[in-house]
Structure 1
Amino acid sequence: MGDEGKASSAPKEAAKGRFSVETVSSLTQTLAIVGAGAWAVYTFIYEARIKPSLAPPAVSVTTNLVKAGERGDRVAIRSTVTRTNVGQTGVRILGLTYNVVGIKARFEEGGGRAGAFADTLPKASMVEQARGYTLSEAGDVILRQGLLFAGATDLPSAPSDLNPGEAVSRDLIVYADRSQFDSIRFKVSLAYGKSTDEAVPLRFETGPGAEIAMAPEADCRAEPEICRRLKTTDFATEFSLW
């Protein structure tokens, strides 16, 4: 009878062992599937929400200048300025300025100054040398425009937000006298911040050569955290009047 008892208990032990292995295997597979799904959800949320929210704002500016017409020595130039959100987060444009400066070229007799391109260069952060002519340093401001958008001013103003990849263009006609200038320099400055951040109030001020510029209302030395939210992009291009 003892042997029969042992024989009947053997299948039960084997079945219990198989049950235990199958249970652990099934549980392991289930946990692996749940973990993979959770990781996929986290990756999606990170890529779609978390990563863009941590990215800094980035805006590029391009300007296209073409002759729109002429009357005598006066030339009409059409400027198309395009601002594009090239970052991964939404951008709030706070303000922009346009400064159009007339440039004069002064030509020298004899084809150039002696030593215009000397072998020894000066110790400086920038070198600009030309043989036979010089350009006016500051130039004369022909036109200046400034615009503060909603958030940068308490006065009535429209908002200007850009989603990632979104672009906005603005046309402007400039008139220049080629009897007075040889070329014009078109300068664009943008001030912006992340659309999720609190806007930084701005004001206009006069820069070098009577150009218009933007500056924070806050004192950046006393309140540096406010000024750190403000980003700027500057762009300049030239157009010959010849």
Structure 2
Amino acid sequence: MAPQDRQPDRHEGPGRQRRGLGLEGANTLVQTLAILGAGAWGVYTFVYEARIKPGLAPPSVSVKTDLARVGVRGDRVAIRSTVTRTNVGQAGVRVLGLTYTVVGIRTRFSESSDDTAAREAAFRDSLSGTANVDAARDYVRESGGMPILRQGLLFSGATPLPSEPSDLNPGESVSRDVIVYADRKTFDAVRFEVRLAYAKEDDPPVRLRFEAGADGVLATVAAEPCPAPKCPLRTTDFATEFSLW
């Protein structure tokens, strides 16, 4: 029997078309969902980097002091100190308190001694049982020092008294100049000590008060107990010295 050509089923074409359209629609849906997912991830990443991540980061502030001799009158030396505080973190910072203490330092000099071995032996013996080493060849610093200038500021949030705000955005810096006068006949050098108290901008402020330590250095402390780790208060200290010679 001669082979006969198969006649196409008139109902077969539309079914195949529907299946083709279904696969094409599914493919389009998958591509659309992928595009929407990528867009949503991009938006989330942007929001996280711009808003969420900075809010989770701890506050961080650096302090530095630039010193320059700006004049001399008799035995008095005028020194300009430029204190710069910078927000080096990712979160906004509320500065609550700033204290500034300048301490005069006297040095007692002695004649050079040829007994180097004995001096070195005495130095090595003094290393046991100490947490601080300060040894020079032919001079000794008198302990402590005498405060010759103490200044302090409490900013908004740290006191109910009238005060100015001091907020720092990430990367922002604020500088403050102070002129100090020191007697070079009385002192050989001066030490500048800066103490900064601050908190994250979104955290509740902490009330502060001034306090002078046993060495006379001015500082700010919490007016009420503020136990860690929940206490939002942070501090940064900086110290440098300047010769009057």
TM-score w.r.t. structure 2 length?
0.90
| Residue deviations 1:41-77 (CA, integer Å, cap 9, x gap) | 1011001100011111111111001001001111000
The residue matched to 1:234 in structure 2 has which SS? Answer: strand
- Which runs of no fewer than 5 residues in structure 2 stay unpaired? 1-5
Partner of 2:101: 99
Structure 1 residues 77-226: aligned runs within 5 Å: 77-111=79-113, 114-115=119-120, 117-118=123-124, 121-220=127-226, 223-224=227-228
- 2:52 aligns with one of 50, 53, 56: 50
Deviation at 1:10, TM superposition (A): 2.3
The separation in 1 between residues aligned to 2:11 and 2:143, in whole angstroms, is 103
CA shift in 2, pair 1:17/1:142, >3 Å: same
- 1:233 aligns with one of 228, 232, 236: 236
TM-score w.r.t. structure 1 length?
0.92
**Highest Rg: 1 or 2?**
2
| Residue deviations 1:172-217 (CA, integer Å, cap 9, x gap) | 0000011111100000000000111110000011112222111101
Deviation at 1:122, TM superposition (A): 2.6
The separation in 2 between residues aligned to 1:46 and 1:231, in whole angstroms, is 25
The separation in 1 between residues aligned to 2:218 and 2:123, in whole angstroms, is 35
The separation in 2 between residues aligned to 1:31 and 1:15, in whole angstroms, is 24
The separation in 2 between residues aligned to 1:38 and 1:119, in whole angstroms, is 68
Query: Cα RMSD over matched residues?
Result: 1.8
Alignment size in residue pairs: 236
> More displaced, 186-195 or 14-23?
14-23
The separation in 2 between residues aligned to 1:77 and 1:208, in whole angstroms, is 26
The separation in 2 between residues aligned to 1:224 and 1:232, in whole angstroms, is 13
- Which runs of no fewer than 5 residues in structure 1 stay unpaired? none
Partner of 1:21: 23
The separation in 2 between residues aligned to 1:182 and 1:39, in whole angstroms, is 63
The separation in 2 between residues aligned to 1:120 and 1:201, in whole angstroms, is 43
Q: One-letter code of the match for 2:110?
A: E
The residue matched to 1:208 in structure 2 has which SS? Answer: coil
The residue matched to 2:9 in structure 1 has which SS? Answer: helix
